[in-house]
Structure 1
Amino acid sequence: MDEDLQSLTRDQLIVEVQRLRAGIRVHRDSSGHELCWHHPDLWALLPEKSDPRPSVPEWPQFLRGCIRYRQSLDAQLPEAPRNGKEFGED
């Protein structure tokens, strides 16, 4: 799957690592409502092209998943700052 890396020079590999790191940092630095979004830009960093349209759960299942995700943030990041911003507020 990653055979393309074999033909890259050291300098090209460094550029590729920097590009991937930048993309990972953008995703890592997501905060607030951005945490819930579809991130095709992250997947586009891969050389293989695919249709990044996921299978989307129905609303009840989706909302239960959102609640579980938010609960996991409470468990894993109990000291993270909280904000009361509504979606779309800057």
Structure 2
Amino acid sequence: MDEDIKDFTRDQLIEEIKKLRAGIREHRDSTGHDLCWHHPKLWSLLPERTDPNILVPAWSEFMKGCIQYRQSLDQKE
């Protein structure tokens, strides 16, 4: 899957790392609803393209996951 990086020059690798780090930092520094799991901009940093049709759980299961995520944050404090 990542065979393309074998042919990168040192400078190309450095640029790739900077691009990926910027994407990770942008996600890390998100707040509010921007923290939701659907992140096509972050995913677009990968060279392979995927189908944008994402399987989303039913509302009850989706909301249960949101509640569990929020509770996990409270437990870390």
> TM above 0.5, one fold?
yes
Q: Give me the identity figure in percent.
A: 65
Matches within 5 A, 1:43-82: 43-76=43-76, 78=77
Counterpart AA for 1:11 = D
Paired with 2:74 and 2:51, the residues of 1 have a C-alpha distance of 33
* Structure 1 unaligned blocks of 5 or more: 79-90
Contact kept? 1:43, 1:52, Cα under 8 Å: no
Paired with 2:3 and 2:26, the residues of 1 have a C-alpha distance of 26
Give a deviation string over 1:24-51, Cα, whole Å, max 9, x none: 0001101122112511111110111111
Equivalent residue number for residue 4 of structure 1: 4
Give a deviation string over 1:38-73, Cα, whole Å, max 9, x none: 111111101111113321111111111110010011
Which TM-score applies when normalising by structure 2? 0.91
| Bigger relative CO (Cα 8 Å, ≥ 6 apart) | 1
* SS in structure 2 at match of 1:50: coil
Paired with 1:40 and 1:56, the residues of 2 have a C-alpha distance of 14
Which TM-score applies when normalising by structure 1? 0.79
Give a deviation string over 1:2-44, Cα, whole Å, max 9, x none: 1100111000110000000000000110112211251111111
The structure whose residues are more often helix, as a share, is 2
